[in-house]
Homo-oligomer: A and B are copies of this chain.
């Protein structure tokens, strides 16, 4: 099944304890699309400025991502974000945000992109997300991301959008904020009760947790001694998760679990280099080896225990 992602395409300036980049390819649709492209055909919907060069388009081309729906505003500038990470790599400090062409982004979705059975609404204004969701009326599985800004500023619109999708992929702070519920399991349940098939909570260095109406699944993060640049890890996770789902015949508990592991696999690569550098160069043997590593990290034999008490 093909997959359509709607979201930002950007230039990022990054500073981490391990180095600095003044301008790398970034944005949610970029990180998501690259990651998903290892699993299925991807259509990306977004907007860029005239400063987007062949070097950037080449990254999409290399991964066979359909960019027909990435609008180019020739006299505009591409969305720019600048951030810094200190030794606590869990949270970025935003140094600069220039929305530019992204400020007035109105997703234009071609017939081809609308036909995709799997759709990901990356973090954009919730009403725009809902508009896209309605246009992709035949989609079988639609997931969304969001952020603290929309939860505090347009919660009602956001909740309407959540009700219209099958799955939400957010971090734990967002889940708590969305539901006013400090316990993450209660928070996930409250979101699920809006009518979702799956709630995925991203927990940074602690991994990811998948809730369905009937089950709970948890995967740790891959043990990395150095996280080089966490930018885009969440979108790369979502790309692996949704890409894997799009490649399956059935979407069931087992495929959702494996999707969660593939998401974690892809995110673990993303943070090993700056921007898209690591995922851009990935191959299948690496991906499958790390998937196996995740199995080894979490599996154990099931041998029931009973102590023979001699009292």
Contact = CB atoms under 8 A, between A and B. Distances in A.
Interface of A: 38-40, 64, 87-88, 182-186, 189, 203, 205-207, 209, 215-220, 223-227, 244, 247, 254, 257-258, 260-262, 284, 287-288, 291-292, 295-307, 309, 311
Q: Which of A87, A224, A297 has the most CB of B within 10 A?
A: A297
Closest 5 CB pairs of A and B: A218-B220, A206-B206, A257-B300, A288-B304, A298-B298
Nearest to A298: B298
A311 B254 CA distance: 30
Contacts of A298: 217-219, 298-299
Contacts of A297: 216-218
Contact of A291 (B226, B247, B302): B302
Nearest to A184: B205
Given A64-B309, A183-B227, 17 more contacts: A88-B182, A185-B223, A185-B224, A186-B225, A207-B220, A216-B297, A217-B298, A217-B300, A218-B297, A247-B305, A254-B301, A284-B305, A288-B304, A292-B304, A295-B300, A298-B299, A299-B299
A177 B39 CA distance: 41
Contacts of A299: 298-299
Contacts of A304: 288, 291-292
A284 B306 CA distance: 6
A258 B303 contact: yes
B183 A307 contact: no
Nearest to A189: B225
Nearest to A292: B302
A311 to B, nearest CB: 5
A95 B255 CA distance: 48
